[in-house]
Structure 1
């Protein structure tokens, strides 16, 4: 029987009606990746305003105000980050009536250039980048659009 099938060309393979994945149906792995991507995009979109604010903070740089307190025995505390907006405003305005044993200092983080570039790219579009290519003789390389030349045009 096997010998008989090998002589029959119709049993050698090829397309068969109803075989294979239906046209337009995606693989399960592709559908899973698409679902994950959609969930990620929805999560980013839901937090876009906050993310833009964080990125703007990175682009501008960050400034911190610290306080060191000296007790009555002369012992100095470790630097404490000041997180009270009222205390920060009073200090910056020169109005803070903190204890005379308090010492303040400001430290900063430099702006992040990648964050600046990203913000500008989003606002104004990415700057064009020109690439020049030349052949071994220094002449420009001629490129052929293969899509146009498929039919021999």
Structure 2
């Protein structure tokens, strides 16, 4: 498979999860594993452009696929990508554990819907859990990344 533009291969057992392959074989440790049951969304990546919870997919299923992880969301010069920068600017993280999955989910949302409403953002994030925030600043960050004016949204 290709992970963040780099060809990665390895021999795996049939039960090896994509999240394990990404972290242990490819060394892309930004993909976090929270629950191993596809409930929290921390392991969200893009496989051939589609948002996927990598703990819910076998590595062999991604054979030949193009996989993008949080590391692949940075700009070519290594600086933060638009969504990542918006999370930083609008305090859309606290401990940071859920952030990679949130950013990957946000990217999928903004690809489908470039200017979502607050309600649409909240609905789209329903498969991602954050135990530190009230989601308010995460939603604000995603809306800011879409280019919308968020100055009237109060910080919480």
Q: Same fold (TM over 0.5)?
A: no
TM-score when scaled to structure 1? 0.18
Q: What TM-score comes out, normalization by structure 2 length?
A: 0.18
